[in-house]
Chains A and B, each alone.
Chain A
């Protein structure tokens, strides 16, 4: 395309000079970094006996350097009973959590040995060693069943039942159920667990959804004026009557918008990832999602695989965000009005994260939209898309976004080409 590289460079330069973009990027990046920082900010005072205060950061680092002795064990009857014994119904201790603003809140944690807890940090770490496993099992079987006669078979049966129930609730077809059942065959039973509690990868997988909203917000701020800017600066007439003012200029602007949004996504997601992995550690990489995040998820997946997949998907979402914002900019022909429309759209998606199952197709389509995707947990929705074979949400969503991005780009092209009537 004629002069595409030069036009692209100048379009980037136009955005480069806009202070608002840099301010937005700085604020959103800071907010993205603060997500993992929040997880290690605050202190814990263990009450009873001699008061001892630990920072959350200290506790997390201790867990990383001195992992629990559960590494390589399988989640079977023995371990479940051990967790129940250590954590469960045997004793309870109240601890005071001191927030970064020094506000205090008392919470009750299940704890094996209050004396040990007070005496050493290691004692407190016991809670973290068994806490995740205890919670995982409790979520599946219910607190009332966390008894001394609970077996590994009971736990896995409860998971299977929960999975089948989710399939029923989501109205999965027989074919989709069979697909998931085939995936479930590959699950390791009993599950071999790692000694590390939820760490950096787990936090990243959970935080990515919020960062996705930051990316959309950045695209709104950076790109809503990309096309309308020309009419605001009264340069539109010069561009329209020039040889490359049509498709070549449109292509350069489109590519600029996609690049800027993608880079914004890379910076914000990268900041969160760096914060998560530096502060909370990458030690949970090989841990199965079934151990730390979604006990009933029906296919094998590690926490790192999930985090990377989710980050990749939200980076792909940055492209559709950009295409949407640019199309709205061309439609409204005003940067401020485009910003208002896009921001309103984002709020709508935030307020309506799911549609009722009474409209299954609409509900599924809605759940795959980029601002909603993952709002209810990225692995929580087992619905598949049947396109020849079955596609999971992780495969269907980017495909849908690609189609929508192309459609929005085509709409934007038509809007850019139109000759004004006024």
Chain B
């Protein structure tokens, strides 16, 4: 099980957002760090096949990013997670399950199970528009897990969550990393420090650091050293 990006590039008009990124990600949690505008979200969108690369390729277990089978194994939580305000939480998950190709009974079972996992079981009949930001984020995490993805791309999954929820989801993500390739982008360095087996640091579209991380080391200090404190706080 391996995600491969080969000289993956994305150019916008006057900007190189992702510059010849070549990666091989095995099961486990990979933390992706970088300042705003470093190209993290663009890289993730390319890996999810929702943005056309200027050059290079993405594949998972030999499947090209454009293949339906690739998408069948993918779970994605975008940074700006959208929803249908008039759907209930359960409806939203059932719809997403149908989009992901789950059968009716499996979709219902999995949806209820995940609503319980993310702590929304008691509000599953409430409309999403009545939810707080944190509740919506939890719903977003639940939808990403509906199809038991082998490749999980999480763009700022813990933003908007209170500290207790953050810790809970950090543990959940660490669990998922045992059997799946998880790529986790965040500004919260401590999240990566606690659960990532491997760390990528991006700067100006390029991977400037790629390696395993020893939990004994101080990642925040290392990160600040890479970027300088000012940029890290940007």
Contacts and interface: CB of A to CB of B under 8 A. Distances in A.
Tell me if chain B binds chain A.
yes
Contacts of B216: none
Interface string A287-302: 0000000000000000
Given A13-B91, A234-B82, A239 B52 contact: no
B104 interface: yes
Interface stretch (B68-76, B114-122, B190-198, B221-229): B68-76
A73 interface: no
Interface in B38-96: 45, 48-52, 66, 68, 71-72, 74, 76, 78, 80-84, 86-87, 91, 94-96
A232 to B, nearest CB: 9
A249 B68 CA distance: 13
Given A242-B100, A243-B100, A243-B101, A237 B45 contact: yes
A237 B71 CA distance: 12
A345 B84 CA distance: 31
Centre residue among B12, B50, B147 by max chain A CB count within 10 A: B50
Interface string A237-267: 1111111111001000000000000000000
A419 B81 CA distance: 19
A422 interface: yes
B99 interface: yes
Contacts of B76: 237-238, 241
Interface residues of B, number: 35
A82 interface: no
A6 B101 CA distance: 10
B1 interface: no
Nearest to B71: A243
B98 interface: yes
Contacts of B83: 233, 235
A412 to B, nearest CB: 18
A14 interface: yes
B52 A420 contact: yes
Nearest to A420: B51
Nearest to B47: A241
Contacts of B66: 419
Contacts of A235: 82-84
A17 interface: yes
A421 B82 contact: no
A6 B104 contact: yes
A234 B80 contact: yes
B182 to A, nearest CB: 15
B8 to A, nearest CB: 14
Contact of B12 (A230, A236, A240, A422): A422
B82 A243 contact: no
B30 interface: no
B223 to A, nearest CB: 27
Contact of A238 (B78, B87, B98): B78
Contact of A237 (B78, B84, B98, B147): B78
Contacts of B71: 241-243, 245
Centre residue among A2, A237, A242, A246 by max chain B CB count within 10 A: A242
A317 B78 CA distance: 40
B99 A244 contact: yes
Given A3-B99, A10-B91, A238-B78, 14 more contacts: A6-B95, A6-B104, A6-B107, A7-B99, A10-B98, A14-B86, A233-B84, A236-B82, A240-B48, A241-B71, A244-B101, A419-B49, A419-B66, A421-B52
Interface of A: 2-3, 6-7, 10, 13-14, 17, 230, 233-246, 249, 419-422
Interface of B: 12, 45, 48-52, 66, 68, 71-72, 74, 76, 78, 80-84, 86-87, 91, 94-96, 98-104, 107, 143, 147
7 tightest Cβ-Cβ pairs between the two chains A and B: A234-B82, A17-B86, A235-B82, A243-B101, A6-B98, A241-B48, A3-B98
